[in-house]
Amino acid sequence: MPDSSPPTVCPYSKGCPLYPMFSMESVLHMWMALYCEADFSRCERYLLRTSGAQVPPSMMPNGKNLSDYPGIKTGK
């Protein structure tokens, strides 16, 4: 019998362009735990992509830009 439960991991998480922008792996894992591996249906990146819109590479799951967080070091 096929599993009809909804996915628990975002279908777009593999190869997400946001991931390489984090130089602090612990911060990346925090965001992944909150959105990518949990309630990704509230992720702004997911919502934009499923609507067919372009997703800015540095857009965070909460809709803010990575540059809005000066304490987070980026890899790029």
Residue 74 lies in a domain: no
Sign of the dihedral through C-alpha 4, 8, 11, 14:
negative
pLDDT range class, residue 72, cuts 50, 70, 90: low
Please determine, for residue 21, whether its predicted confidence score (pLDDT) is greater than 80: yes
Residue 49 lies in a domain: yes
Total of domains in the chain: 1
Contact 22, 74 (CB under 8 A): yes
Task: Name the pTM for this structure.
Answer: 0.77
Q: Where in the sequence is the domain holding 45, given as residue range(s)?
A: 19-68
Residue 12 lies in a domain: no
Q: What pLDDT does residue 37 have?
A: 92
Higher-pLDDT residue of 43, 3: 43
At 30-69, the pLDDT tens digits run 999 999 998 899 999 999 999 999 999 889 999 999 888 7
